[in-house]
């Protein structure tokens, strides 16, 4: 019964049927639109497909004009591990990304809370400073920071990449603040009436309501570290036992004299975890992207 | 008769207590704010304010990290503006990226989002497909593109050859290396597309309906309804694009290293390959600071970068008053 209702209702609401000529034109426009979208999709997917195909080829075939692997060399994915210390890189990457993410969450949530839900003199000025530090090219401050870490004998380790995250990250502060602002004040007031202090309100009200934004921040930070190339290049390029996946991959072909088929296998293996995470956490992604972009 | 003064004294006492309690609460509040803000205060001081000031100071010195900085006055700036043969090519390449890639990306992302709003079927699938490349780690995407576009055996040139289209040398040609980087950038433009899509969906329906009543065609609807409504997002795209192109590094660095067959950690030999066509300002800055350890000179380069970033951002924001339209009711 209910299914019949559902199918009838929209039709009864819709206006009179348009004349056939209009309907035909609409159909043609719709077909054209979808054709363009399909063509674009093919173009967007083609690089993935070619990378995957090459990852399955023998070396000779990768250098030949044939585009379909014959036979399939699944062993390439195993060979990658024999060619370079991939597990080492993966371990370093995980260490860097997880510690940095913890640091960003621990330090940025309280700051974002103070910048959005508490009223104090100078708050807007501080927020402008956060935006300024977010917008200036990071190269502007990198030399003195490098000098400091060099003096502390931390160049050649992952610490220069991890430590700064424990002192707040402008992008995460910005994103969390934008989200905190959307939470109605009534929730906080209700908690205040129940005798909660500001800290309890942050912990038991806002952290719970802001879960999607916190998930987005954690995800972005983790991926940022996973992808980061400049930081590892700057601080660990001389110490190959501290290399991350992105640095290792960039050197893969040249240092180890690896052929294209194995390089593409490694490239693919580097992309796959991110894509899996995306499909598991799609909502957090879209939430985060639109939050930073639109509600400025 | 005496009750009035007593009551007055009592009231004064209560008032004093209340004021004291208030002051105490205010102090506790200040402590709370300070406590919550402390990570940022420390981080901003150590990792932003101090380095900025230090960079400004170092730009007037000769400094190689081993011996202490030696004051040289304006020598670094004189070398930067008058003698360094690589600065001008690097600036030109960076300006090229800004002039070509930023508008191309904004247009392309808008186009994708616009097509998505017109689709009736499979919107979710198309959206995911367009967004997916944005997820590919930059190094992986760059490596993939260097392979796909490699002149001899890359699949793109194999396909072009079969179709009888001339095959460019892509990353191996000074004319095509930057367009190749643009292609790489457009492939990964998903984030911008999502932002445009959200903005397009937010355009109020009534505006389109009243435009229809006024007899507006599709182009006029685009010009007078869609573009003004999403102009804040266009501004956002332009600002972000300009800032990104000022720090453009990884793609250029990795692509030139891989295409020239050099190890990226082997230092400067491959950088800018071919013929300095991918030598962008941040790449040159990196070489000066961390390959040659000319830290004083590199600091002067960062000061120029800072100046340009400030001027460009201010110019865009100033000009935005002329063409960005904010809907009154929104926040």
Domain boundaries, chain A: 2-55, 80-293
Give A-chain residues touching B302 at CB under 8 angstroms.
139-143
Domain boundaries, chain B: 3-58, 77-323
Give the pLDDT score at A92: 96
Share the mean pLDDT of chain A: 86
Contact A263, A253 (CB under 8 A): yes
Is the model's pLDDT at A13 over the cut of 70?
Answer: no
Least confident of A60-74, A125-139, B102-116: A60-74
Does B66 contact chain A (CB < 8 Å)?
A: no
Does B200 contact chain A (CB < 8 Å)?
A: no
Q: How far apart are the C-alpha atoms of B195 and A33, rounded to whole Å?
A: 21
- Its ipTM equals 0.86
Give B-chain residues touching A199 at CB under 8 angstroms.
32
DSSP A156: T
Is the model's pLDDT at A6 over the cut of 70?
Answer: no
Give the pLDDT score at B266: 54
User: A157: helix, coil or strand?
Assistant: strand
At residue A114 the predicted structure's pLDDT band, cuts being 50, 70 and 90, is: very high
Compute the nearest-CA separation of A5 from chain B (Å). Answer: 22
Give A-chain residues touching B305 at CB under 8 angstroms.
137, 139-140
Give the pLDDT score at A8: 42
Q: How far apart are the C-alpha atoms of A178 and A187, rounded to whole Å?
A: 17
Using CB atoms, pick whichever of A133, A147, A286 lies closest to residue B44.
Answer: A133
Give the global pTM: 0.87
Are residues A294 and B195, on separate chains, in Cβ contact within 8 Å?
yes
Is the model's pLDDT at A283 over the cut of 70?
Answer: yes
Is the model's pLDDT at A15 over the cut of 50?
Answer: yes
Q: How far apart are the C-alpha atoms of A231 and A244, rounded to whole Å?
A: 10
Are residues A107 and B43, on separate chains, in Cβ contact within 8 Å?
yes
Using CB atoms, pick whichever of A37, A118, A246 lies closest to residue B126.
Answer: A37
- DSSP codes, B229-286: HTHHHHHHHHHHHHHHHHT--HHHHHHHHHHHT--GGG-GGGTTTTTTTT--HHHHHH
* CATH code reported for the domain at B77-323: 1.10.3720.10
At residue A293 the predicted structure's pLDDT band, cuts being 50, 70 and 90, is: low
Between A238 and A252, the more confident residue is A238
Give the pLDDT score at B280: 95
Give the pLDDT score at A257: 62
Is the model's pLDDT at A2 over the cut of 60?
Answer: no
Distances (CA, A) of A56 to A7, A73, A269, B122: 48, 5, 12, 30
Does B29 contact chain A (CB < 8 Å)?
A: yes
Residue of B nearest to A170 (CA): B40
Number of residues in chain A: 296
Compute the nearest-CA separation of A231 from chain B (Å). Answer: 10
Q: How far apart are the C-alpha atoms of A273 and A250, rounded to whole Å?
A: 18
Does B295 contact chain A (CB < 8 Å)?
A: yes
**Tell me, which fold does domain A80-293 have in CATH?**
MetI-like fold (1.10.3720)
Does B86 contact chain A (CB < 8 Å)?
A: no
Q: How far apart are the C-alpha atoms of A202 and A208, rounded to whole Å?
A: 9
Give the pLDDT score at A252: 79
- pLDDT tens digit sequence for A203-219: 888 888 888 889 889 99
Contact B241, B154 (CB under 8 A): no
Give the pLDDT score at A277: 87
- E strands along chain B, which residues? 61-62, 70-71
Q: How far apart are the C-alpha atoms of A239 and A156, rounded to whole Å?
A: 5
At residue A11 the predicted structure's pLDDT band, cuts being 50, 70 and 90, is: very low
- pLDDT tens digit sequence for B180-237: 999 999 999 998 998 899 889 888 888 888 888 888 888 888 888 899 889 888 888 8
DSSP B331: -
Partner residues linked to B71 by β-bridges: B61
* Mean pLDDT calculated for residue range A2-18: 50
- pLDDT tens digit sequence for A187-203: 888 888 888 887 888 88
What is the full per-residue pLDDT of chain B (331 aa) written as tens digits?
455 666 677 777 788 888 888 888 888 888 999 999 999 999 999 999 999 999 999 999 999 988 899 999 999 999 999 989 899 999 999 999 999 999 999 999 999 999 999 888 888 899 999 999 998 999 999 999 998 998 878 889 888 988 988 889 899 888 999 999 999 999 999 989 988 998 898 888 888 888 888 888 888 888 888 998 898 888 888 888 998 999 999 999 999 888 887 544 555 567 788 888 899 999 999 999 999 999 999 999 999 999 999 998 888 878 877 777 775 444 3
Q: Which of A24-28, A276-280, A286-290, B299-303 has the highest mean pLDDT?
A: B299-303
Residue in A251, A148, A149, A150 with CA at minimum distance from that of residue A243: A251
């Amino acid at each position: 019964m209910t299914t019949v209702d559902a199918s009838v209702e929209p039709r009864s609401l819709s206006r009179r049927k348009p004349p056939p000529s209009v309907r035909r034109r609409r159909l043609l426009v719709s077909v054209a639109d979808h054709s363009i979208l399909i063509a674009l999709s093919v173009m967007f997917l083609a690089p993935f497909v070619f990378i995957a195909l090459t990852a399955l080829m023998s070396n000779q075939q990768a250098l030949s004009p044939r585009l379909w692997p014959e036979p399939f060399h699944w062993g390439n994915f195993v060979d990658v591990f024999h060619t370079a210390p991939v597990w080492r890189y993966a371990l370093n990457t995980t260490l860097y990304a997880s510690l940095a993410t913890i640091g960003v969450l621990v330090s940025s949530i309280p700051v974002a809370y103070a910048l959005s839900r508490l009223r104090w003199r100078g708050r807007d000025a501080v927020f402008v400073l956060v935006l300024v530090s977010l917008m200036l090219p990071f190269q502007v401050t990198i030399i003195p920071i490098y000098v400091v870490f060099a003096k502390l004998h931390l160049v050649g380790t992952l610490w220069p990449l991890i430590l700064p995250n424990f002192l707040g990250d402008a992008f995460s502060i910005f994103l969390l603040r934008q989200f905190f602002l959307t939470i109605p004040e009534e929730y906080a007031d209700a908690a205040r009436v129940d005798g909660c202090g500001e800290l309890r309100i942050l912990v038991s009200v806002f952290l719970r309501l802001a879960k999607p934004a916190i998930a987005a921040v954690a995800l972005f930070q983790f991926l940022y570290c996973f992808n980061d190339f400049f930081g590892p290049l700057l601080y660990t390029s001389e110490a190959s036992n501290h290399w991350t996946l992105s640095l290792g991959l960039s050197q893969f072909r040249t240092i180890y004299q690896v052929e294209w088929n194995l390089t593409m296998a490694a490239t693919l293996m580097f992309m796959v975890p991110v894509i899996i995470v995306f499909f598991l956490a799609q909502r957090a992604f879209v939430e985060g992207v639109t939050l930073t972009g639109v509600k400025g | 008769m005496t009750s009035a003064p007593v009551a007055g004294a009592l009231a004064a006492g209560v008032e004093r207590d209340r004021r004291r309690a208030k002051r105490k609460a205010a102090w506790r509040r200040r402590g709370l704010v300070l406590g919550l803000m402390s990570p940022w205060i420390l981080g901003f001081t150590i990792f932003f304010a101090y380095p900025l000031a230090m960079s400004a100071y170092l730009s007037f010195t000769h400094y190689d990290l081993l011996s202490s900085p030696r004051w040289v006055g304006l020598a670094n700036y004189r070398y930067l503006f008058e003698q360094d043969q690589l600065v001008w090519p690097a600036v030109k390449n960076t300006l090229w990226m800004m002039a070509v890639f930023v508008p191309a990306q904004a247009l392309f992302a808008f186009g994708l989002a616009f097509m998505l709003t017109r689709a009736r079927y499979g919107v979710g699938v198309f959206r995911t497909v367009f967004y997916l490349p944005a997820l590919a780690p930059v190094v992986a995407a760059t490596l993939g593109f260097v392979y796909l576009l490699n002149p001899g055996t890359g699949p793109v040139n194999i396909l072009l050859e079969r179709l009888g289209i001339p095959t460019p040398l892509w990353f191996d040609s000074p004319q095509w290396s930057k367009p190749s980087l643009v292609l790489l950038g457009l492939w990964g433009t998903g984030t911008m597309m999502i932002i445009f899509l959200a903005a397009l969906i937010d355009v109020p329906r009534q505006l389109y309906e009243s435009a229809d009543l006024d007899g507006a065609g599709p182009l006029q609807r685009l010009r007078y309804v869609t573009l003004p409504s999403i102009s804040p997002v266009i501004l956002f795209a332009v600002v972000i694009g300009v800032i990104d192109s000022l720090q453009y590094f990884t793609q250029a660095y990795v692509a030139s290293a891989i295409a020239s067959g050099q190890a990226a950690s082997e230092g400067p030999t491959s950088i800018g390959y071919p013929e300095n066509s991918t030598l962008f300002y941040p790449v040159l800055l990196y070489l000066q600071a961390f390959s040659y350890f000319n830290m004083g000179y590199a600091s002067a380069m960062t000061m120029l970068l800072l100046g340009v970033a400030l001027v460009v951002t201010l110019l865009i924001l100033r000009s935005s008053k002329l063409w960005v339209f904010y809907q009154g009711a929104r926040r």
